[in-house]
Amino acid sequence: MRFIVHNDPAGRSTNNYIARADLAPFGMDGQVEQLWLKSANDDGSYEVACIPFFTYGLALGDTVLLTDDDYVSEVVETAGHRTLRLLFIPDLSTADLQQAADRIKAELLAAGLLSEWSGERFIAVDIPTGVDVSGLIAVMEDVVNKGQAFWEWAASQPFCAQS
């Protein structure tokens, strides 16, 4: 089993809880994403406190339920956020990677957006409702059009728990 972890989750606090999302329903058999959560209500629901790297249909702030063995079983309420993910190609030169990453980081800072990096080549960005992300989209689109990266919206597939 390969675990995808969040080393610096956007919503880290002293009372976080770690659960898992099985990635098999998304074509990644044998992989599990560890998700940081915080208690949302007394009903046993939790709020996603990280920006999902690989789990589709989840975003920061969404409310989820867990199975008895701490896997996310369903999304009970969305927070209205979206997750935008970008992966730099493996053979991108260090100089090109640094330049593109710096441009993306500058746009994130200018827009006040939260993000999480998995290594140096993969970023997940939280896009709250009503925030202008045109600058970020333009930079990411340029990087993708140059053949340096791939991107996607995490909502391109609905959340699905392993049955």
**All domains of the chain in start order, with CATH:** 2-77 (no CATH), 82-155 (3.30.70.600)
Closest CA to 35 of 24, 11, 82: 11
Residue stretches of the chain with pLDDT short of 70:
163
| Chain Cα centroid distance, residue 117 | 9
In the block, tokens 């970020």 appear at: 136
Q: So what's the pLDDT on residue 131?
A: 93
Q: What are phi and psi of 50, to 5 degrees?
A: -140, 170
**pLDDT given at position 27:** 92
Q: What single letter denotes the amino acid at residue 31? A: Q
Looking at residue 44, its pLDDT comes to 85
pLDDT for the residue numbered 101: 97
pLDDT reported for residue 163: 57
Write out the E strands in 6-111: 17-22, 31-39, 46-48, 63-66, 72-77, 82-88
The pLDDT value recorded for residue 83 is 97
